[in-house]
Structure 1
Amino acid sequence: MPEGAEIVDRNGDVVEMRVSIPGDEHGFFGRQCPGCAQMFRVNMEDYEALPEEIELWCVYCGHHCDHSDFMTQQQKDRALRAVADLGVQMVGHVVEDVFGGRSRTRSRSRGSGFGVEIRFRSTPFYPQPLPGLDEEKLVRERKCADCALRYAVFGEHRFCPVCGPLASAVVSTDALGAETARLDGLAQLPAEVRADLREKGVFTRIWVDTLENLVGIVETLAGAVFRAAVADAPARLNGKGNIFQRLDDTADLFVAAGYADLRTVLDAPTWQRLTESWAARHVFTHNDGVVDARYLTKVPGSTARLGQRLTITEASCRQAILDAGALCHAVAALT
């Protein structure tokens, strides 16, 4: 057998074989979801410590099934090479048994004089090395707060490979990090590319999208925390629409359920900046950024006039991300 493959058991015609899956220089190896086909990586030491019969979760789509179904294509190819080599040898042994393990010639003639001759000579088998693995490399190690499994992902994810759905606070932290990383990526573009994108309004659209995303991140977290903590949450939320998109209404909802007031948990300047960011997001989402009476009511100190179009900056977006992070931390700490 080639290095990395071994026969561990024989039972009649059934052969049990073990083929090693090498890890990378960090001790991680690949897993591939049989549902969405996306890749992630898991620490080998942590993985080997898991129970033999365990289901894995796809970190991206949440598909979960037996861990053996998460082999990558390169891992399957490596195992199939070992199986093919074993098959060649098993066939060779059968032929040797037929011919007695030595060279032999058989001929047979019929009335026409036609003859058939068979020659066989046994030769040693030398298996080729198993193919290595060249899969996507580790970028950043993550560690599940619940099961301590170390793993790595290559995109937005919502699940731990072992525990399943991640805590809402973890999801919000990752999402806020993605918003910051997106702005950092823009800052690293070549000057001529930045100038072209800025002239076409791409930067402005990204900043607007950032505000929209921040509201969504807080809405998702606050909703998850409230529903998990408040026994009669469905009744309290009935008929209130997208209440977690509205800052004061969200604060009032938690207060009515017996929790601290977010407006006092956070300092006044942070809450005021959040109010302004949420109001700006509403104007851009529903009125193409044109200031209306509702905006001026929410932001009475604004220098913008009715009918003017708001302008936003990278600096204001970065501050909004920090403020949203403080709000998420406060929401998660309420319960």
Structure 2
Amino acid sequence: MFEETQRFLRSLDGGGQVPVLIEDDEEGYFDRECPSDECLFQFKMLSEDWHKAKEAERLHCPACGHTDHSDRWWTQQQVEHMHAAAVAQIQGGLNRALKTDAARFNRSRPRGGFISMTMKVDSRPQHVMLPPAATDPMALKITCPSCACRYAVIGAAYFCPACGHSAAEQVFEQTIAGIKATLKALDQVRAAMPDRDTAETTVRVVIENGLQNAVTAFQRVVEALFVELPAPPKTRRNAFQNLAEGSTLWQQTTGKGYDAHLDAPSLDQLARAFQQRHLLAHRQGLVDEEYIAKSGDTRYRPGQRLVLRAEGVTEAVELVERLVAGLRDDASIARSRQGPSP
């Protein structure tokens, strides 16, 4: 009795494998997620390039540059899906085994006796787990200039997941253009969501992410320009997230500060945007005394939450563009003065 059930249970001994399908999206991209707990950045790789890259066993996060083994880049949604699908397959196998044993037991019972006993296995309808839904088309598709790996991100990302190549300068314009396009599409976002509260929450997140991505884009591209300058001094980590500190470093190395490219009101406006990004990243947007002191933004009291408008973020993005254009000119002049390497 219960031979089929026992056979099924023995097959699970030793941790047998249960195949679970994770599909590409409609464009052939495969969802990935940075395994660093401090990042968890999600991106996509073209499936063809993913299978090539994983043979090297090491992948790189496009956002933070974290490097890890290729089997650790599953998204949280994929892990949940695989767990649920595996449990469903095991439950289905056990259910079939029990049904087989029950039918065999019933056939062996004598008919017409005073006592009749049968066995029934109650099986509720099983839910078929679909693969995780593909996310909306990524705003930015990138081909690595070094290894030709094709990947896609939302927001700012500056490292090739396959080879780790930093493409900050190449990606900067695309990132800024993507932020601008997203901010222009906010009315479409609102219209696509019937629930007004959900729509407004989504719009707020998009606006705040736009500012954070613009500051990150600025930081990455200026870091890339700075290390190519003649004899650049050593800097602390994230020095170029601070406009005043970054301007001083740039002045020391090229002879020009940020004020050579933006007037004082524009620099003040951009500095306030950088401080707002700091609040969003580290205080969930809650204003404190330090923010008011550093930004000069007296519209808020400590404990209030920032309220950003798309127009304000768009202006900050345009100031970032103007400043980076000037810094590129500075860098080009500094390199030309150095002349060719001996």
TM-score, length of structure 1 as denominator length: 0.52
Aligned positions of 1:188-199 closer than 5 A: none
Q: Conserved in 2, the CA contact under 8 Å of 1:180 and 1:321? A: no
* Corresponding position of 1:221: 224
* Corresponding position of 1:138: 138
Cα displacement (A) at 1:40: 0.8
Cα displacement (A) at 1:53: 6.2
Deviations 1:59-85 (A, max 9, x none): 223343333332224433443344234
Unaligned runs of 5+ in 2: 1-10, 188-211, 235-243, 273-314
Matched, 1:148 2:148: yes
Q: Conserved in 2, the CA contact under 8 Å of 1:218 and 1:244? A: no
* Corresponding position of 2:49: 46
| Equivalent position SS for 1:162 | coil
The AA in structure 2 aligned to 1:59 is: P
Cα displacement (A) at 1:31: 1.1
- Which is richer in helix? 2
Aligned positions of 1:66-145 closer than 5 A: 66-92=69-95, 94-95=97-98, 101-103=104-106, 119-120=119-120, 129-136=128-135, 137-145=137-145
Go from structure 1 to structure 2 and tell me whether the alpha carbon gap of 1:321 and 1:73 turns closer, same or farther (over 3 Å shift).
Answer: closer
Q: Conserved in 2, the CA contact under 8 Å of 1:96 and 1:102? A: no
Go from structure 1 to structure 2 and tell me whether the alpha carbon gap of 1:224 and 1:94 turns closer, same or farther (over 3 Å shift).
Answer: same
TM-score, length of structure 2 as denominator length: 0.51
Matched, 1:65 2:68: yes
Q: Conserved in 1, the CA contact under 8 Å of 2:45 and 2:150? A: yes
Cα displacement (A) at 1:138: 2.5
Matched, 1:171 2:168: yes
Q: Conserved in 1, the CA contact under 8 Å of 2:254 and 2:330? A: no
Equivalent pairs: percent with the same residue?
Answer: 18
Q: Conserved in 1, the CA contact under 8 Å of 2:62 and 2:159? A: yes
The AA in structure 1 aligned to 2:104 is: G
Distance in structure 2 (CA, Å) of the matches to 1:42 and 1:184: 22
Go from structure 1 to structure 2 and tell me whether the alpha carbon gap of 1:100 and 1:219 turns closer, same or farther (over 3 Å shift).
Answer: closer
Cα displacement (A) at 1:39: 1.6
Cα displacement (A) at 1:284: 3.9
Distance in structure 1 (CA, Å) of the matches to 2:157 and 2:266: 27
Go from structure 1 to structure 2 and tell me whether the alpha carbon gap of 1:330 and 1:132 turns closer, same or farther (over 3 Å shift).
Answer: farther
* Structure ID, larger Rg: 1
Cα displacement (A) at 1:243: 8.1
Go from structure 1 to structure 2 and tell me whether the alpha carbon gap of 1:281 and 1:77 turns closer, same or farther (over 3 Å shift).
Answer: same
Distance in structure 1 (CA, Å) of the matches to 2:106 and 2:333: 83
| Equivalent position SS for 2:53 | coil
Go from structure 1 to structure 2 and tell me whether the alpha carbon gap of 1:82 and 1:213 turns closer, same or farther (over 3 Å shift).
Answer: closer
Q: Conserved in 1, the CA contact under 8 Å of 2:140 and 2:155? A: no
* Corresponding position of 1:112: none
* Corresponding position of 1:263: none
Cα displacement (A) at 1:129: 4.5
Go from structure 1 to structure 2 and tell me whether the alpha carbon gap of 1:83 and 1:138 turns closer, same or farther (over 3 Å shift).
Answer: same
Q: Conserved in 1, the CA contact under 8 Å of 2:54 and 2:70? A: no
Q: Conserved in 2, the CA contact under 8 Å of 1:105 and 1:118? A: no
